[in-house]
Amino acid sequence: MDVLFKSIDVRDLLSAPDLDDTSSPLSAPDLRLLIDRLDNHSQHIKSKVQEYIVSHQSHFSELLSLSSTSVSQSLSLSSQLDSLLSLLSNDGHPIDVEINSILKEIKTTVSNLESKKSQACVLRVIVKLSKNLSKVRELMQNGGLVEAVKLMLDLKRALRIDDKEEREKEVVVYELLRGQWFICFEEIQDLLVKLMENAVRFEHELSQIRVVFSSSVGGAHEIQLHTVLEAMDMLGILDYGVARTADLFMKFAIGPATNLRAPVSFVEESFGSFVENGQAILKIIPSSDAKMEDVDGKALFLRLTTVVKFIYRHICLQSGRWMRCFGKLTWPRMSELIISNFLSKVVPDDASKLADFHTVMNTSSEFEIVLKE
């Protein structure tokens, strides 16, 4: 593009020999020559300009587009500025009042959304808790007692059964769900107690205590005794669940074993194991010799040891924890019977009987050791 900016010397376009004389006029041929050469030079410049524009067409297009966009934006900005100035100058509706109104509306809308979101979360939790309560009943009917108890314990924590101080800000429906939880608790407790009663029963006609390691109640079929005891223990009702069984043994086994006037003996029979559908029987056989004396208490403690070992093996299924619970229900009454029916009657009233009493004390100590084992 240098041709556009280079200066033109007219003298270069003329062929007159004497061009230094600026006062001499140009002849007609020189003028025509000058015109022709200026025209050629002009055409040359046009050609160069055209070539330059063609070779830089994209650049010129971008430049024109940018110019057009800038103009449009300037016009839009000018229009917005006019609107803003018009709004600010409107005395009937001050802009700050409208802005405050809009902000309050936004704040109210956000608050409502958060409230609805919180309510939706609470509703989802309530629906889940309600479904889990229904699932507890399904598990009970299908024999899934351990799973039902685990779910009950989870619900106990979720419903804050033992945490009354945290209930003040709860919705009312939580109290209704807690009511349903207590109903489920009573239902599963009653089911476990019935299963325990079916598993351990006294047969009067045969004078024996029968323990079956698998029992059924309602829709709960073939529930293992171990499962029943485990569910009771997890639910925290083991002492309540085995209380009637403890009473049964006190009445039909431990009580007769401590009755020295009509002593009995015991015979144990077992079939299978507690992991199978087995059973165990403790036969109670009246003694043929009612006048038999038990001076040192060995026969008494042997009978009691037989009963205690039967309970440990076939009722508590060799669980020390369950046996301790059973012992708390029976030992106070058992010890009272031992004292009243035997020990109180062998207390020596003269020195000659001290040796026999010492033997009784040794036998009693050995029995206590057996109980601790």
Question: Which domain does 9 fall in, by range?
Answer: 1-14+30-52
What residue spans of the chain are helical by DSSP H? 2-5, 28-55, 57-88, 95-141, 145-158, 172-199, 225-235, 238-241, 243-249, 255-257, 298-310, 320-341, 354-372
* More confident position, 351 or 16: 351
* More confident position, 255 or 112: 255
Cβ proximity of 218 and 141 under 8 Å: yes
Is there a single domain that holds both residue 175 and residue 257?
no
pLDDT tier for residue 291 given thresholds of 50, 70 and 90: low
The answer to whether residue 338 is domain-embedded is yes
Nearest Cα to 228, choosing from 192, 187, 273? 192
In total, how many domains does the chain have? 3
Is there a single domain that holds both residue 182 and residue 272?
no
Q: How far apart are CA 238 and CA 60, in angstroms?
A: 94
The answer to whether residue 91 is domain-embedded is no
pLDDT tier for residue 355 given thresholds of 50, 70 and 90: low
Which of 114-123, 183-192, 199-208 is least confident?
A: 114-123
> Quick one: pLDDT at residue 285?
92
Q: How far apart are CA 187 and CA 145, in angstroms?
A: 12
Which of 36-40, 54-58, 211-215, 348-352 is least confident?
A: 348-352
Q: Which two tokens stand for residue 171?
A: 């919705």
Is there a single domain that holds both residue 247 and residue 362?
yes
Position 172 pLDDT exceeds 80: no
Is there a single domain that holds both residue 172 and residue 293?
no
CA 317 vs. chain centroid, Å, equals: 32
Pick from 189, 205, 225: which residue ends a domain?
Answer: 189
The answer to whether residue 248 is domain-embedded is yes
Cβ proximity of 217 and 194 under 8 Å: yes
Cβ proximity of 234 and 148 under 8 Å: no
Give the CA angle between residues 274, 277, 281 to the nearest 5°.
65
Is there a single domain that holds both residue 275 and residue 353?
yes
Nearest Cα to 357, choosing from 347, 344, 365? 347
* More confident position, 199 or 293: 199
Q: What is the pLDDT of residues 314-350, one digit of tens each?
A: 999 999 999 999 999 999 999 899 888 887 776 666 7
Q: What is the pLDDT of residues 41-92, one digit of tens each?
A: 778 787 777 777 777 777 777 777 787 787 778 788 877 777 766 766 665 5
Q: How far apart are CA 219 and CA 143, in angstroms?
A: 7
The answer to whether residue 87 is domain-embedded is no
Is there a single domain that holds both residue 159 and residue 251?
no
Is there a single domain that holds both residue 256 and residue 364?
yes
* Identity at 172, one-letter amino acid code: V
Whether the pTM exceeds 0.75: the reply is no
> Quick one: pLDDT at residue 245?
96
Q: How would you write 22-59 as a 3-class SS string?
A: CCCCCCHHHHHHHHHHHHHHHHHHHHHHHHHHHHCHHH
From the number of C-beta atoms within 10 Å of its C-beta (0-12, 13-18, 19+), residue 78 rates as exposed
